[in-house]
Chains A and B, each alone.
Chain A
Amino acid sequence: MNNPNIYIPYLMRIEKITQEAPGVKTFRLKFENKQEAEEFEFKAGQFGEYSIVGVGESTFCIASSPTRKGYIECTFRQVGRVTSALASAEEGDVIGFRGPYGNTFPIDEWKGKNLVFIAGGIALPPMRCVIWNALDLRENFEDITIVYGARTVADLVYKHELEEWGNRPDIKLVTTVDPGGETPDWKGEIGFVPSVLEKVAPSAENTIAIVCGPPIMIKFTFPVLEKLGFADHNIYTTLENRMKCGFGKCGRCNVGEKYVCIDGPVFSGEELKLLPAEY
Chain B
Amino acid sequence: MQIDNYLIRQTSLEKLFNNLIGNGKTVFAPQASEKRILFEKVKAFSEITDNYLVTTNAAKSVVFPRTEKLFSYKKTKETTEITDASTEAVPEVVLWGTRPCDAAAFIPLTDTFNGDYPDILYNNRRGKVYLLSFSCATCDEYCFCTSVNGSPGNTAGSDILFTKLSTGDYLAEVITEKGKKLVAENQTLFEAAPEEEKEPNLAKVKTYFNQDEIQAKLQNLFENPVWDEKSRACLGCGSCAFVCPVCSCFDIQDEKHGSKGTRLRCWDSCGFSLFTLHTSGHNPRETQGARWRQRILHKFLYMPDKSKVAGCVGCGRCSRVCPADINILETVTSI
| Contact A257 to B290, CB < 8 A, known contacts A5-B70, A6-B119, A252-B249 | no
Specify which chain A residues have a CB less than 8 angstroms from the CB of B192 in the assembled complex.
none
> Which of A9, A57, A254 touches B294 (beta carbons < 8 Å)?
A254
- From residue 229 to 251 of chain B, which have CB atoms closer than 8 A to chain A? 248-251
Kindly supply a per-residue 1/0 record for chain A positions 231-271, scoring 1 wherever the CB is within 8 Å of any chain B CB and 0 otherwise: 00000000011101101111111111100001000000000
Specify which chain A residues have a CB less than 8 angstroms from the CB of B302 in the assembled complex.
254, 256-257
> Which of B117, B222, B270 touches A6 (beta carbons < 8 Å)?
B117
Nearest residue, chain B, Cβ from A251: B249
Specify which chain B residues have a CB less than 8 angstroms from the CB of A100 in the assembled complex.
none
Nearest residue, chain A, Cβ from B302: A257
**Bound: A249/B280 CA distance, A:** 23
> Which of B71, B222, B270, B276 touches A8 (beta carbons < 8 Å)?
B71
| Contact A94 to B84, CB < 8 A, known contacts A257-B305, A278-B284 | no
Specify which chain A residues have a CB less than 8 angstroms from the CB of B249 in the assembled complex.
250-252
| Contact A244 to B251, CB < 8 A, known contacts A249-B112, A257-B305 | yes
Cβ contact within 8 Å between A5 and B121: yes
Kindly supply a per-residue 1/0 record for chain B positions 25-61, scoring 1 wherever the CB is within 8 Å of any chain A CB and 0 otherwise: 0000000000000000000000000000000000000
Specify which chain B residues have a CB less than 8 angstroms from the CB of A56 in the assembled complex.
252-254
| Contact A249 to B248, CB < 8 A, known contacts A7-B265, A94-B79, A254-B294 | yes
- Min CB distance, A141 to chain B, in Å? 30
Cβ contact within 8 Å between B284 and A55: no
Cβ contact within 8 Å between B276 and A55: no
Q: What number of A residues sit within 8 Å (CB to CB) of B? A: 40
Asked if A79 is at the interface (CB within 8 A of a chain B CB), the reply is yes
- Min CB distance, B236 to chain A, in Å? 15
| Contact A250 to B82, CB < 8 A, known contacts A6-B117, A8-B71, A242-B278 | no
Specify which chain B residues have a CB less than 8 angstroms from the CB of A241 in the assembled complex.
276, 278, 284
Most chain A Cβ neighbours within 10 Å, of B223, B253, B276, B285: B276
Nearest residue, chain A, Cβ from B251: A244
Cβ contact within 8 Å between B252 and A252: no
**Bound: A7/B275 CA distance, A:** 20
- Min CB distance, B309 to chain A, in Å? 15
Cβ contact within 8 Å between B256 and A251: no
Most chain A Cβ neighbours within 10 Å, of B80, B120, B256, B275: B80
> Which of B120, B268, B276 touches A5 (beta carbons < 8 Å)?
B120
- From residue 84 to 118 of chain B, which have CB atoms closer than 8 A to chain A? 84-86, 112-113, 115-118
| Contact A249 to B75, CB < 8 A, known contacts A254-B294, A257-B305, A278-B285 | no
- Min CB distance, A186 to chain B, in Å? 26
**Bound: A111/B215 CA distance, A:** 40
Asked if A4 is at the interface (CB within 8 A of a chain B CB), the reply is yes
**Bound: A253/B250 CA distance, A:** 12
Nearest residue, chain B, Cβ from A215: B282
Specify which chain B residues have a CB less than 8 angstroms from the CB of A279 in the assembled complex.
284
Nearest residue, chain B, Cβ from A256: B222
Asked if A107 is at the interface (CB within 8 A of a chain B CB), the reply is no
**Bound: A71/B301 CA distance, A:** 41
Specify which chain B residues have a CB less than 8 angstroms from the CB of A201 in the assembled complex.
none
- Min CB distance, A134 to chain B, in Å? 27
Cβ contact within 8 Å between B252 and A250: yes
Cβ contact within 8 Å between B256 and A8: no
Asked if A183 is at the interface (CB within 8 A of a chain B CB), the reply is no
- Min CB distance, A91 to chain B, in Å? 14
**Bound: A55/B70 CA distance, A:** 14
Cβ contact within 8 Å between B290 and A248: no
Asked if A80 is at the interface (CB within 8 A of a chain B CB), the reply is yes
Specify which chain A residues have a CB less than 8 angstroms from the CB of B261 in the assembled complex.
53-54
**Bound: A94/B78 CA distance, A:** 8
Specify which chain A residues have a CB less than 8 angstroms from the CB of B251 in the assembled complex.
244, 250
| Contact A7 to B252, CB < 8 A, known contacts A262-B116, A278-B284, A279-B284 | yes
Asked if B208 is at the interface (CB within 8 A of a chain A CB), the reply is no
Query: Beyond A5-B70, A7-B263: 16 further Cβ-contacts under 8 Å?
Result: A5-B85, A8-B84, A53-B73, A53-B254, A79-B279, A80-B279, A83-B279, A94-B79, A96-B80, A242-B276, A242-B278, A249-B117, A249-B119, A252-B276, A254-B302, A278-B290
Closest 5 CB pairs of A and B: A251-B249, A54-B256, A247-B117, A7-B70, A54-B261
Give the B-binding residues of A (Cβ under 8 A).
3-9, 11, 51, 53-57, 79-80, 83, 94, 96, 215, 240-242, 244-245, 247-257, 262, 276, 278-279
Give the A-binding residues of B (Cβ under 8 A).
70-71, 73, 75, 79-80, 82, 84-86, 112-113, 115-121, 222-223, 248-256, 261, 263, 265, 268, 270, 275-280, 282, 284-285, 290, 294, 297-298, 301-302, 305-306
Q: Can you sample 5 A-B contacts with CB below 8 Å?
A: A56-B253, A96-B80, A244-B251, A250-B252, A256-B222
